[in-house]
Structure 1
Amino acid sequence: MKTVKNKTVLITGASSGIGEAFAYELAKKGANLIITARSEDKLKVLASKISKKYNVEVNVFTGDLLKKDTPVKLYNQIKQAGLSVDLLINNAGFGKWVNFLDESIDGYEEMIEININALVKLCYLVLPEMLEKGDCGIINVASTGALQPCPYVATYCASKSFVLNFSEALYGEYYKKGVTITALCPGNTTTGFQAIAKANTKGMSADSSETVAKEAISALLKNKSFKIVGTMNYLQSFLPRLLPRKSVINIVQKMMNDKVNGLKK
């Protein structure tokens, strides 16, 4: 993808955190927006601020991606409004830092529904038109947790491993056909994720949502298949390649056990 100026961008989970940062950064670059999340009030406030500040079009569609039919309903609403998506940012998602059996199976099903199923459905829905137009793109938000097995964050990190591999596979299929798919792998980021995940990130460095959004857009425009945010995160990504897998598991287990179960001591 060569430019986002005058393009129409669909951002999921746009009401806060990285999604909100994407909205501001893309509007600053001249993109028109379609923002979606569950909170209509937050989306409307955000739309008003962005449209006034950057003089771009901002459309609001609310929807709960935990519901299986939401991606199709959202896509149909977009089409009925006469809009066409040039860039999709699959940002919505959540995780939990927890002993595996301390979370309900319903919670894991919801995590998989939004982190994997909704993301796949939205990619499937927008890709045909993108291929017709060319110069389009998709940014799928994965995580540095996608790069190795993560005890105590097992389902979340496994879902993000899916996102990373899925995105790079699609990149291989479509980047020569005018659609760039970039997997974004941020590390610890200052968002509301930590509160929902009950994540103990004390002592951990964190990137801002704005930094993550800027680096993701830059990577997309450079035709990158993935982007790891942060120099230390990038260096740590080599660890699973250098050590036996069991050693990596033991390292992550010790670190995460201190973060998760250390709170219970």
Structure 2
Amino acid sequence: MTSSAQGSSILRKRWQGKWGLVTGASAGIGMALAEELAAAGVNLVLTARRQDRLQALAAKLATAFGIQTKVLVADLEQADAPEQIFAATEGAGQSIDVLINNAGFGYYGEFSKGDPARQTAMVQVNCSAVVALTNLFLPRMIARKRGDIMIVASTAAYQPVPYLATYAATKVFDRFLAEALAQEVRPFGVHVSALCPGPTESEFGQVAGSPADQFRGSQKASSVARKGLEGLALGRQWVIPYFVGQAGVFVQRFLPRRMVTAGVAKAFRPKN
């Protein structure tokens, strides 16, 4: 668990000694975000479904970095989970200065063959829960005139993605929500940022059901987390944490969307 000296300095300056909340903290980018925040001296509320993983991570971070930690087991597929998380933190007198909306999952394959319940659950976790949590915590941040919110989107938010159709659509929602709120709350000293990673070392592909080689060239989750948090601390409305993604987003501005979508479909079409 390491953090770059520069990144640590940026994060410490804004958040050291404050409390952060990370959803989906038990694996992948969520775990990496928690580690980077802990290295910067941020006390953490860690939430996800898997209690054993959360408790192990909380103990490790507390020992390694001397921070305070709290574990909240919550399933964001359940509509009342955001209220439960809020009640256990702000509702109990624990101010949250950094809210990381990271929890989410995808489905890879033909939309028509996917489980409808799973697709709906994806919208609940990736979109509805993000709206609910942000709506609960943001007013307190505005009132205190401090606070920061990250919404983890994806480079999939910049074009339609056949065979990841619902997932990409949810990430468009996340990105647009973050960018709009960033403008609304800037006068109050609050930052909102969309982190838009590409292929990243995580359990995403396994959960989504994609082939093992579908997301070649994955970034390390630690690099994605560090760059995303630095961007949030500096007030950037969005962060694409790798050059290929930045270049791809730039180039596709000059191409017809149907051409981009056709190219993506060819790249993602299941081999079977």
TM-score, normalised via structure 1 length: 0.95
| Match in the other structure for 1:211 | 223
Partner of 2:211: 200
Q: Distance in 1 between matches of 2:182 and 2:90?
A: 25
Distance 2:24 2:219 in 1: 18
The structural deviation recorded for 1:245 is: 1.1
Q: Percent identity?
A: 37
Q: Which amino acid aligns with 1:221?
A: A
Q: Which residue of 1 aligns with 2:259?
A: 247
Q: Aligned residues, how many?
A: 260
Q: Specify the SS of the correspondent of 1:85.
A: coil
1:55 equivalent in alignment to 2:66? yes
Equivalent in the alignment of 1:256: 268
Q: Give the Cα separation in 2 of the matches to 1:176 and 1:80.
A: 25
Larger displacement relative to structure 2 (238-247 or 216-225): 238-247
Distance 1:40 1:80 in 2: 22
Contact 2:90–2:96 (8 Å) recurs in 1: no
1:77 corresponds to 2:88: yes
Superposed CA RMSD in Å reads 1.3
Q: Who is 1:39 aligned against?
A: 50
The 5 A counterparts of 1:76-155 are 76-155=87-166
Deviations 1:218-252 (A, max 9, x none): 10122100001110110001233110111111111
- The 3-state SS of whatever aligns with 2:253 is helix
Shift of 1:80: 4.7
Between 1-10 and 242-251, report the one with greater CA deviation: 1-10
How big is the shift at 1:210?
0.3
CA displacement at 1:81 relative to structure 2: 3.9
CA distance, structure 2, for counterparts of residue 105 and residue 159 of structure 1: 15
Q: Deviations over 1:49-79 (max 9, x none)?
A: 1101100000111110000010011111113
Tell whether the 8 Å contact from 1:66 to 1:110 is kept in structure 2 after alignment.
Answer: yes
Cα distance in 2 between the residues matched to 1:80 and 1:72: 9
| SS of equivalent to 1:164 | helix
Q: Secondary structure at the match of 1:3?
A: helix
1:127-149 deviation line (CA, Å, top 9, x unaligned): 11101222310000000000001
The one-letter code of the counterpart of 2:65 is Y
**Is 2:217 the partner of 1:183?**
no
Aligned match of 1:230 in 242, 258, 262?
242
Q: Is the 8 A contact 2:107 2:119 kept in 1?
A: no
Other structure's SS at 1:92 match: coil
- Contact conserved, 1:150 with 1:253, CA < 8 A, in 2? yes
> Which segment is superposed worse, 105-114 or 238-247?
238-247
Q: How many Å apart are 1:197 and its aligned residue?
A: 0.8
Residue number in structure 1 paired with 2:7: none
Structure 2 unaligned blocks of 5 or more: 1-10
Q: In the TM superposition, what is the alpha-carbon distance from 1:171 to its structure 2 partner? A: 0.4
Match of 2:8 in 1: none
Partner of residue 11, structure 1:
22
Letter in 2 for 1:26: L
Is the 8 Å Cα contact of residues 8 and 31 (structure 1) preserved in structure 2?
Answer: yes
Unaligned runs of 5+ in 1: none
Task: After TM superposition, give the deviation of residue 176 of structure 1 in Å.
Answer: 2.0
TM-score (norm 2): 0.93
**Which segment is superposed worse, 48-57 or 194-203?**
194-203
Distance (whole Å) between structure 2 residues aligned to residue 178 and residue 55 of structure 1: 28
